[in-house]
Structure 1
Amino acid sequence: MGLDDDIAILATAPVFELFERDALRLLSFAGERRHLDEGELLFSRGEPSDGGYVVMAGTLALIPRRPGEEPVKVSRSGLIGRNALFRQVERPADARATEPSEVMRVTPSVMSRVLREFPDVAAAIHGGMAEELLDLVRGLSGVQERLTRLSPRKR
């Protein structure tokens, strides 16, 4: 894959779709590539994160904690570990390649460097994440209202 291909894949990945081309170019050079064979484990549940991953080719399955739940499939331009782009977190699931795959790891230090060099991108990410949090709060408030209506009144 060439630089233009990498940039095209990154440009459609969650979070990175907010990046301008020069920021994507820097990310492409600074990100670490890893090839995975079919069945190979990228990381295990409970491990501390070492960054987020963009799927550049192939498909990975995120195996849920609860037995019987279907794995979540992540393919080209998918992002695994958005929070891990910004800080170390515990991995909530196993990630395993379901076919020969390639991922790009973006560490928090690389992400920090890109955001320092491209403050407009940092502002766009901040705005997008703030809006997501507001949507979550609105949704939770709606759930609280419905639960309040369902619960018997105290006398």
Structure 2
Amino acid sequence: MGLDDDIAILAAAPVFELFERDALRLLSFAGDRRLLGEGELLFARGEPSDGGYVVMSGTIELIPFRADSAADAAPVTVSRSGVIGRNALFRSVARPADARAREASEVMRVTPSVMSRVLREFPDAAAAIHGGMSEELLDLVRGLSGVRERLVGLAPRKR
């Protein structure tokens, strides 16, 4: 895979889609590559994160744990240009799921220190991420407010 291919994959990835070409080039050079064979574990649930991953090729399956049941939740598949561990791009967190290659795959790890460097060198990218995450949080709050209103409407009225 060449640099132009890497940049195209990164440009299609959530979080990175608003980055300018030079920022994507820096990510491509600074990111750590890892090849995974079919069935190989990328990381296990509960491990501390060491960065987020962009799927460069292949498919990674995430098997999350459901706290309300002894069974695992339905697996989620992430393919080319998908981001695994978005929060782990910015800080260390416990991995909430097992991640395993469904087929031969390649991922690029982006550590918080690399992400911090890119955001310092490209402040427009930092502003774009901040704006996007702010909108997501506002959407979450709006959604939770709607749930609250419905739950309050279901509560028996005091007499």
Q: TM-score, normalised by structure 1?
A: 0.98
Could you report, residue by residue, the CA deviation over 1:103-126 in whole angstroms, capped at 9, with x for unpaired residues?
000000000000000001100100
Query: Do residues 129 (structure 1) and 133 (structure 2) align?
Result: yes
Letter in 1 for 2:135: E
Kindly tell me: are residues 113 and 68 of structure 1, through their superposed partners in 2, closer, same or farther at Cα, counting changes over 3 Å? closer
Query: Do residues 90 (structure 1) and 102 (structure 2) align?
Result: no
Could you report, residue by residue, the CA deviation over 1:68-96 in whole angstroms, capped at 9, with x for unpaired residues?
53210000000000000000000000000
Give secondary structure in 1 for the equivalent of 2:17: helix
Aligned to 1:103: 107
**How much is the aligned-residue C-alpha RMSD, in angstroms?**
0.7
CA contact (8 A) 2:37 2:105 kept: yes
Extract unaligned runs of 5+ from structure 2.
none
Aligned to 2:74: 70
In 2, the alpha carbon distance for the partners of 1:154 and 1:144 equals 18
Query: Do residues 17 (structure 1) and 17 (structure 2) align?
Result: yes
Aligned to 1:33: 33
Give secondary structure in 2 for the equivalent of 1:105: strand
Give secondary structure in 2 for the equivalent of 1:144: helix
Q: TM-score, normalised by structure 2?
A: 0.96
Runs of 4+ in structure 1 deviating by more than 4 angstroms, as ranges, are none
Aligned to 1:2: 2
Aligned to 2:124: 120
CA contact (8 A) 2:27 2:114 kept: yes
Query: Do residues 152 (structure 1) and 156 (structure 2) align?
Result: yes
- Aligned identity (percent) is 84
In 1, the alpha carbon distance for the partners of 2:64 and 2:130 equals 28
In 2, the alpha carbon distance for the partners of 1:51 and 1:64 equals 18
Give secondary structure in 2 for the equivalent of 1:148: helix
In 1, the alpha carbon distance for the partners of 2:146 and 2:7 equals 39
Query: Do residues 52 (structure 1) and 49 (structure 2) align?
Result: no
In 2, the alpha carbon distance for the partners of 1:153 and 1:59 equals 51
Give secondary structure in 2 for the equivalent of 1:62: strand
